[in-house]
Chains A and B, each alone.
Chain A
Amino acid sequence: MRNLMTLALLSASLASAQTTLTVVTHDSFDVDKKLVAQFEATNHARVRFVKAGDAGEMLNRLILTRAAPIGDVVYGLDNTLLPRAQAAGILTPYRSPLASNIPAAHRLGDGTLLNTVDLGYVALNYDKAAFQKSGLALPTSLAQLSEPAYARLTVVESPATSSTGLAFLLALNHQLGAQGAIQWYRTARQNGMKVTRGWSEAYDKEFSLYGGKYPIVLSYASSPAAEVFYSEGKLKDAPTANLLLPGSTFLQLEGVGVLKGTKQPALARRFVDFMLSAPVQRDFPNRMWVYPSIPGTPLSDVWKFAQKPDVTAPSTAELQQGQALTDTWVQQVLRR
């Protein structure tokens, strides 16, 4: 079966007369190949995925190349990046008819440039066994987390180089205000909080579950479910859990949109619809560990280990502060 599919893909790539749709994605993108093959068959087109780094890098590459766009559709820009994408004018408006199912609170901006495909909650996780062994009680507030006893147990990602890091800074900003967020960070860092550049360094290297020394890590509220899923049935319960301190979580919305300058606007729009269609919405939660944006899409059993924190998407005004906030953070926290 797989061989047949490879063959089909190969012959499709040889038939140069066929239209090709280029979809730019971030490195974490993953979708069932069979669904893509169906889309290709229905539309008599070939879909070519291009990975352009993580979401932040991808946006910068799209901005740099806006005069000669590298693709027709982009998937993976989120609510933290939308203000910059909007200012750079790299997207062309399209609102999918399927987007009317998305709750207003989960729309990206006014919903005209990007259609929300999925949502995820950036949240602190902790290593259950490590905490049990230490006998230390879990912290209950952000203020407590920045104290020496807990700050030296915590690893987070840098807002300047990581989307989870930026999300956390925006959450702090929402809770404590811009000044308060920077002050919190400086205190926590002075008290021993570790800052890494990206998620995998924090999780695979510094998190105590995988040999590091920090039992609290900035990740996603769905990570405990992923831990169970990737243990291939060996784990009955998650080895990690969420540490949902008030003001520490952030609702990240990821979307798909049509790139300005596409030569195939109609096909590009159909791909946007495809990403919101029921089969795709059902497929990706267990691949990318995010929630589908269309309510009522069933989730597999393992998602019971994930939590939906009680948090709403940040306002446009707050999101627009992201860049300035990061610059301040770089100047006043990182380079001090």
Chain B
Amino acid sequence: MNPRRRSGLLLALPALLFLAAFLLLPLLRVLREGGLRLGVWADPYFLGRLGWTLTQALLTTVLAAVLGGPLAYLLSRYRLPGQDLLLRVLLLPFVTPTLVAALGLSSLFGPHGLTHLDLSDTPALLILGNLFFNLPLMVRLAHAGFVRVPPMLVGAARSLGASGARAAWEVAVPLALPGVLAGMVLVFLYSALSFGLPLVLGGERYGTLEVEIYTLTAYELRLPEASALILGQLVFTVAAILLYTRLNRAVSGVALARALPRPRGGPALTLYLLTAVTLLICFGPLLAVALRSVLGPAGLTTGFWSGLLDPDSDPSLGLMLGNTLRFGLYTLAAALLVGGLHALGAARARGRTLDVLSLLPLMVSPISLSVGYLLLYPALRAEVPLLIAAYTLLAYPLITRSLLPALRAVPPRLLEASRSLGASGLEAWRTVTLPLVLPALRGGAALALATVLGEFAATLVLTRPEWSTLSTGIYERLGRPGAQNLGEACALATLLMLLALLCFTVLDGGKGEVT
């Protein structure tokens, strides 16, 4: 092994140990408990589920690319009023608990929906839900790809007589393609492996493999079948992840800040149209939920919000807010440490193994992990450290994924120059590397925090009432009858979104990029 590789692995060692303890060992423990019954794959029912899982993910990916790709390109070429704000709020769907997203979507596209377009009981609602969560990701990933394309290349094509669309298609797209394709693979993976959304919106007919794994594990206690499904799912996710890392490594260049012109004519029309569609898909459901927090059966009301503030309400709003922030910050700190070291190690080792490993947490079923935790860590089962570890496992890949391309893009000559001017390795890192990768780090941190804020604790570990967070508060209220409970759930969801927006503003500053 060459020394670079060895020091890279050494840097990533804490992250690797973390992965072993909270991902690999728990999964192996579940396998040992239940064994494997591969015969389940001969059942046409499960093959059908696999087919639908891949179909809906593919459909989502194509739609996200068709809508998000052009929008991202235009955003990288023209100045849209409020563009920074747009890119920042595009992260909001990430924090939205799935049941809230589902409520919002059915307020828009349900039987009495605001759009008068009834999509309930069709697969369209699930695809729209997927888009709600993934279109923002596509826009931001493609945008990060397009801002790396040197503007003079597009300008040169234009001055040689190419139309705007042709210059985009023949110059910008090929250059940004690896980044855009990597984004598409990520959207595909997220849509194929997402759990909450098909659980709620898919109904019995459009459930995915992940939903079947959940049912087999949590309700039917048929671990051998569940393990066989997990293994099958791993096959296609590993294939997708290998493709992703290959594409992602081809992303090169540094994002350049520059003054952008205002769009006119055709580009303006397309830009505004695509922005409007994106806003409708990504914020329509959120606005519908916010609206429901002030709209009672008898018209406008403040009753739901004042119900939250009622000192007798249990758990109190203060407790929920405090826990949400506390768990979020603990997790962020842990994720920055684990994710940062993983990225540094992977960048230094230059191999693909570490790169692929950082994507592992995205592809395992959280429900199987939770069973593994139960069996493996009896003493930790209802303790805060396990909760934080479980959250960190979900959040840290986002930091590694953001940081890694930025680290790779740091020109080695800059570091060499600072070293030859007498800076120590650490000093060079602090004065040269860190400032260059800071935007990516901040963007990744915002995304990681967002993931945690909206996470529903009970899916991963045993919870305790004193751990109530905003998202568990939402689920708790949705579990009881009455307009007041539904309204308070919507008010809590609105509050969660506002909190997330605040976090993004502080962390991301609107300038951070997420890849």
Contact = CB atoms under 8 A, between A and B. Distances in A.
Contacts of A183: none
A53 B458 contact: yes
Contact of A200 (B218, B314, B381, B478): B478
Given A70-B374, A70-B382, A289-B481, A211 B219 contact: no
B218 A201 contact: no
B381 A70 contact: yes
Given A160-B219, A232-B307, A289-B481, A2 B316 contact: yes
Contacts of A52: 462
Contacts, number: 137
Nearest to B489: A204
Interface string B465-503: 110000000011011111111100100000000000000
Given A51-B458, A231-B482, A334-B204, A205 B102 contact: yes
A313 interface: no
Given A28-B479, A56-B219, A205-B106, A51 B303 contact: no
A285 to B, nearest CB: 13
B99 A200 contact: yes
Given A196-B203, A211-B110, A213-B120, A50 B462 contact: yes
B120 A68 contact: no
Most buried by A among B118, B381, B475, B489: B381
A98 interface: no
Interface in A199-214: 199-201, 203-206, 208, 210-213
A232 B303 contact: yes
Interface in B72-91: none
A160 B120 CA distance: 22
A65 interface: yes
A231 B483 contact: yes
Interface string A248-283: 000000000000000000000000000000000000
B219 A194 contact: no
B414 interface: no
B232 interface: no
Contacts of B307: 232
B410 interface: no
B214 to A, nearest CB: 9
Nearest to A30: B314
A191 interface: no
Q: Chain B interface secondary structure, helix, strand, loop or mixed?
A: helix
B505 interface: no
A164 to B, nearest CB: 12
Contacts of B309: none
Nearest to A222: B481
A49 B110 contact: no
A197 interface: yes
Nearest to A49: B465
A11 B504 CA distance: 35
A197 B204 contact: yes
Contacts of B479: 27-28, 199-200
Interface in A2-30: 2, 9, 22, 27-30
Contact of A27 (B33, B221, B476, B484): B476
A105 B57 CA distance: 51
Contact of B375 (A65, A197, A227): A65
A35 to B, nearest CB: 13
A236 interface: no
B155 interface: no
Contact of A234 (B102, B217, B298, B374): B298
Q: How large is the interface on A (under 10, 10 to 19, 20 to 34, 35 or more residues)?
A: 35 or more
Contact of A64 (B219, B311, B371, B476): B371
A72 to B, nearest CB: 12
B103 A204 contact: yes
Contacts of A231: 482-484
B266 interface: no
A61 interface: yes
A278 to B, nearest CB: 21
Given A50-B463, A51-B464, A213-B120, A229 B482 contact: yes
Nearest to A234: B298
B107 interface: yes
Interface of B: 33, 45, 99, 102-103, 106-107, 110-113, 118, 120-121, 199-200, 203-204, 215, 217-221, 297-298, 303, 307, 311, 314, 316, 371, 374-375, 378, 381-382, 458, 462-466, 475-476, 478-486, 489
Interface of A: 2, 9, 22, 27-30, 33, 48-53, 56-57, 60-61, 63-65, 68, 70, 158, 160-161, 194-197, 199-201, 203-206, 208, 210-213, 219, 223, 226-227, 229-232, 234, 239, 289, 334-335
11 contacts: A27-B475, A51-B463, A64-B371, A64-B374, A68-B378, A196-B204, A197-B200, A199-B479, A211-B111, A212-B120, A230-B481
Given A48-B382, A57-B218, A199-B479, 15 more contacts: A27-B475, A27-B479, A50-B464, A61-B374, A64-B371, A64-B375, A200-B99, A208-B111, A211-B106, A211-B107, A212-B106, A213-B110, A227-B481, A227-B482, A334-B204
The 8 closest A-B pairs by CB, nearest first: A230-B482, A213-B111, A230-B484, A68-B378, A226-B481, A200-B478, A50-B382, A60-B221
